[in-house]
Structure 1
Amino acid sequence: MARAVNLTPKTGRRLTDSLPQDRVADHVRLLAERPTGFSLAAPFYTDPAFFTADMEGVFGRHWVFAGSIAELPDAGDYITVEYGPYSLIVLRTDDGGINALHNVCRHRGARVLTAPSGTTGNLVCQYHSWTYSPEGELIHASAPGEADFAPGCFNLKRAHAREVSGLIFVCLADEPPEDFDEVSAVFEPYLAPHDLSRTKVAFQQELVEEGNWKLVMENNRECYHCDGHPELACSLFPTWGLTDGIVPPHLADVWERNLSAELSLQQRCARYGLPYEVVEELDTRIAGIRISREPLDGEGESFSESGRRLSKKLLGDLRDFRLGRCSMHLQPNSWFHFLSDHVITFSAFPLEAGRTLVRTTWLVADDAVEGVDYDLETLTHTWKQTNLQDKAFVELCQQGTSSPAYEPGPYMKSEYQVEAFISWYVQRMQEHYA
Structure 2
Amino acid sequence: MLNKFSSSISAILDSRAEGYSLPAGLYTREDVFQADLDVFFRKHWIYVGLECDVPEAGDATVIDIGTTSLILLRDDDDEIRVVHNVCRHRGTRLLDGGPTVISKLVCPYHQWTYELSGELIHAPHMGTDFDKSCHNLKPVHFRSIGGLIYVCLSETPPADIAHLERVMEERLAPYDIRNTRVAHQTDVIETGNWKLTMENNRECYHCAANHPELCVSFIDLDFGFDPATLSEEDRAEAEEHQRLYVKRIAAWEADGHLSSPVEQLAGHETNFRTQRLIIAGAGESQTPDATAASTKLLGTMTRKDLGDTHLWGHNAWNHFMGDHAVTAMVIPLSANRTLVRTKWLVHKDAVEGVDYDLEKLTNVWVATTDQDAELVGRSQLGVEDPAYEPGPYSRFTEGQLDDFATWYVERMRAHGY
**Under a length normalisation based on structure 1, what TM-score does the superposition of the two structures give?**
0.90
Cα pair 1:239 1:254 within 8 Å, conserved:
no
Q: Secondary structure at the match of 1:433?
A: coil
Partner of 1:393: 375
Whichever residue aligns with residue 139 of structure 1, its letter is I
**What do the CA deviations read for 1:29-77 (whole angstroms, capped 9, x no partner)?**
2223311111111221111111111111111111111111121211221
Cα pair 2:287 2:362 within 8 Å, conserved:
no
Aligned equivalent of 2:174, options 193, 196, 215? 193
Does 2:131 match 1:113? no
Does 2:43 match 1:61? yes
Greater CA drift, 255-264 or 378-387: 255-264
In structure 2, distance between residues paired with 1:291 and 1:369: 30
In structure 2, distance between residues paired with 1:254 and 1:148: 78
In structure 1, distance between residues paired with 2:149 and 2:234: 38
Cα pair 2:191 2:337 within 8 Å, conserved:
yes
Whichever residue aligns with residue 286 of structure 1, its letter is E
Partner of 2:238: 255
Does 2:34 match 1:52? yes
Partner of 2:119: 137
Cα pair 2:21 2:391 within 8 Å, conserved:
yes
Aligned equivalent of 1:71, options 53, 57, 61? 53
Does 2:284 match 1:297? no
Cα pair 1:98 1:162 within 8 Å, conserved:
no
Counterparts of 1:170-181 in structure 2 under 5 Å? Answer: 170-181=151-162
Aligned equivalent of 1:407, options 373, 389, 397? 389
Sort the Cα spacing of 1:313 and 1:256 in 2 relative to 1 into closer, same or farther, 3 A: farther
Cα pair 1:98 1:161 within 8 Å, conserved:
no
**What do the CA deviations read for 1:379-406 (whole angstroms, capped 9, x no partner)?**
0000000000000111111111112222
In structure 2, distance between residues paired with 1:390 and 1:353: 18
**Under a length normalisation based on structure 2, what TM-score does the superposition of the two structures give?**
0.93
CA shift, 1:365, in A, is 1.0
In structure 1, distance between residues paired with 2:243 and 2:338: 38
Partner of 1:96: 78
CA shift, 1:264, in A, is 5.8
Partner of 2:312: 329
Does 2:139 match 1:153? no
Whichever residue aligns with residue 381 of structure 1, its letter is N
Aligned equivalent of 2:198, options 192, 217, 220? 217
Q: Secondary structure at the match of 1:100?
A: strand
In structure 1, distance between residues paired with 2:53 and 2:228: 41
Q: CA RMSD in A?
A: 2.2
CA shift, 1:194, in A, is 0.9
In structure 1, distance between residues paired with 2:310 and 2:349: 24
**What do the CA deviations read for 1:230-283 (whole angstroms, capped 9, x no partner)?**
100111012231157467449547635644653563355135310111112222
Cα pair 1:75 1:96 within 8 Å, conserved:
yes
Q: Secondary structure at the match of 2:197?
A: helix
In structure 2, distance between residues paired with 1:102 and 1:165: 23
In structure 2, distance between residues paired with 1:391 and 1:148: 56
Does 2:55 match 1:87? no
In structure 2, distance between residues paired with 1:74 and 1:306: 35
Q: Secondary structure at the match of 1:66?
A: strand
Counterparts of 1:31-50 in structure 2 under 5 Å? Answer: 31-50=13-32
Sort the Cα spacing of 1:148 and 1:402 in 2 relative to 1 into closer, same or farther, 3 A: farther
Partner of 1:433: 416
Q: Secondary structure at the match of 1:240?
A: helix
Q: Which runs of 5+ in 1 are unaligned?
A: 1-16
Greater CA drift, 105-114 or 394-403: 105-114
Whichever residue aligns with residue 186 of structure 1, its letter is V
In structure 1, distance between residues paired with 2:52 and 2:145: 13
CA shift, 1:374, in A, is 0.5
